[in-house]
């Protein structure tokens, strides 16, 4: 098996990949993440996931390199990380009673064969109608200021949600493990 590299500095993606119980290394790719004019969310995430993986190929010439990227949309408009309390209050207020779409791209690049596999995995999260007090209590408790959408489904943020729809709940956090397992299997990596 070729060694694995996660092309990310995300603590969330690292924690997800650790669940597969495979040895891997993390390396942050240095790429321009600016969207191209008229680029759709799916196209942007797909391009960035691929670029992240391929950017590390010279440094890791005989590896399986995992690139991933995510865009969160509310009514077709991107939702970023709030960075602070006020931004999170605004995001959760706008999301109340509505659906966010998480578009997560995954790209597995074999730097030895120069072949790659990629997908874009959508995941939809519908929020309950939230009161200002509920939003404040949640944010004071969890402080998800580094999470697009201003919540952590793996934590107390699950209490804000009415419904989730998609094939892989891990894609919501940033790394579609079900699809990754299938891609790794095509590369000869055996998992339980």
Block residue for tokens 């865009």: 71
Q: Distance of CA 79 to CAs 75, 123, 185, Å?
A: 10, 14, 33
Contact status, residue 154 vs residue 147, Cβ threshold 8 Å: no
Phi first, then psi, for residue 70 (nearest 5°) are -140, 140
69 catalytic per annotation:
yes
- For the chain, the distance separating the N- and C-terminal CA atoms, rounded to the nearest angstrom, is 15
User: Rounded CA gap, 175 and 189, in Å?
Assistant: 17
Of 182, 187, 60, 170, which Cα lies nearest the Cα of 121?
Answer: 170
Among residues 69, 84, 146, 167, which one is catalytic?
Answer: 69
Tell me which residues are annotated as active site: 69
């Amino acid at each position: 098996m070729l060694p694995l590299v996660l092309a990310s500095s995300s603590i969330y993606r690292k924690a997800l990949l650790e669940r597969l119980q495979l040895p891997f290394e993390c390396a942050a790719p240095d790429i321009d993440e600016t969207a191209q004019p008229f680029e759709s969310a799916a196209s942007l995430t797909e391009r960035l996931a691929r670029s992240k993986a391929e950017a590390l190929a010279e440094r890791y010439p005989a590896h399986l390199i995992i690139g991933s990227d995510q865009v969160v949309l509310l009514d077709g408009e991107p939702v970023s990380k709030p960075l602070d309390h006020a931004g999170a209050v605004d995001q959760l207020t706008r999301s109340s009673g509505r659906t966010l779409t998480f578009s997560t791209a995954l790209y597995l690049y074999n730097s030895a064969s120069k072949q790659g596999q990629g997908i874009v995995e959508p995941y939809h999260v519908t929020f309950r109608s939230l009161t200002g007090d509920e939003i404040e209590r949640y944010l004071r408790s969890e402080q998800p200021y580094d999470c697009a959408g201003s919540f952590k489904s793996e934590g107390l943020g699950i209490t804000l949600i009415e419904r989730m729809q998609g094939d892989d709940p891990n894609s919501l956090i940033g790394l579609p493990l079900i699809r990754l397992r299938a891609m790794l299997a095509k590369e000869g990596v055996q998992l339980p």
